[in-house]
């Protein structure tokens, strides 16, 4: 997003795509490669920023297109279809296991 830092852009994406409001960290916890299509030229490196959720919206910009779901760390690792992203999630969960309730 033009004019915003990467971490502010991540928080904006969380708001637009999931209706999640929170405090985002300025330092990424990892990165992964993502392609929107089978074309290798479309691949991009994506940095992941943790967000402390402070609230959620009932309706948000993409609420009719996207469903919000909450996962434990282990459930999130199993749900994603990108091994690099799964490793980022798992690593963050392990490093912060005192802060995260993994029920």
- pLDDT tens for each residue of 36-69: 887 878 899 999 999 999 999 999 999 999 999 9
pLDDT of 89 reads 96
Long-range Cβ pairs for the range 74-81 (8 Å, 24+): 74/102
103 pLDDT higher than 70: no
Burial (CB count <10 Å: 0-12, 13-18, 19+), residue 49: buried
Q: Distance (Å, rounded) from C-alpha 43 to C-alpha 54? A: 32
Q: With bands split at pLDDT 50, 70 and 90, how would you rate the model's confidence at 100?
A: low
pLDDT above 60: residue 101: no
Q: What residue spans of 1-103 are helical by DSSP H?
A: 6-18, 73-79, 83-95
- pLDDT attached to residue 37: 80
The predicted structure's pLDDT at residue 1: 67
The 10s digit of each residue's pLDDT in 63-94 is 999 999 999 999 999 999 999 999 999 999 98
């Amino acid at each position: 997003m033009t004019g915003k830092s990467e971490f502010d852009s991540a928080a904006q994406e969380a708001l637009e795509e999931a209706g999640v409001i929170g405090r985002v960290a300025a330092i990424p916890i990892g990165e992964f490669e993502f392609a929107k299509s089978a074309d290798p030229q479309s691949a991009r490196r994506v940095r992941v920023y943790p967000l402390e959720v402070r609230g959620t919206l009932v309706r948000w910009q993409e609420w009719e297109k996207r469903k919000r779901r909450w996962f434990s760390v282990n459930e999130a690792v199993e749900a994603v279809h990108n091994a690099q992203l799964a490793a980022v999630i798992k690593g963050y969960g392990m490093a912060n296991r005192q802060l995260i309730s993994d029920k």
